[in-house]
Amino acid sequence: VLSPQIFWFRKMRRNLVVTFFMSVIVNIGMWFERFVIIVTSLYREYIPSGWSTYYTPTIWEIGFYLGTFGLFFTCYFLFSKFFPVIAVAEIKHILKKSGANYKVKMGPEESESIEAFAHEYEHAH
């Protein structure tokens, strides 16, 4: 309830690190809410006489709990393998270099020998 209130400030809304951190907090909170619903429903019985016992998770419940993390990281790594993150700056650079306008203007300069370029550079300064 309190963490998203930071987005009232424009500077914080536009900061990518703050937005990412808040999204992580919200996701953890949503997961914890579901976890609390399940654990409290298993912990307390509906009959008041059964409220004095303490809940201890079984090996299967601990495995299920750890399995949620394993499933998440498996899906995350598969997604990053098949849909890798590509920087927009790299795409712009590649598209700019492969464009016809670039080839017309820079083609002769790129085909020039290094010795001629060095000779021209020495006499220019």
With 70 as the cut, is the pLDDT of residue 124 above it? Answer: no
Q: Which residue shows structure tokens 């987005």?
A: 7
Chain centroid to CA 117: how far?
44
What's the pLDDT at 71? 95
Distance CA 119, CA 97 (A): 26
Cβ atoms within 10 Å of 65's Cβ, excluding its own: 13
More confident residue, 54 or 11: 11
Distance CA 23, CA 54 (A): 34
Structure tokens at 9: 């400030």
CA angle at 109 for the pair 106 and 113, rounded to the nearest 5°: 150
At 64-98, the pLDDT tens digits run 999 999 999 999 999 988 887 877 778 777 777 77
Cβ pair 55, 42 in contact under 8 A: yes
With 80 as the cut, is the pLDDT of residue 14 above it? Answer: yes
**Confidence band for 12, pLDDT divided at 50, 70 and 90:** confident
With 80 as the cut, is the pLDDT of residue 112 above it? Answer: no
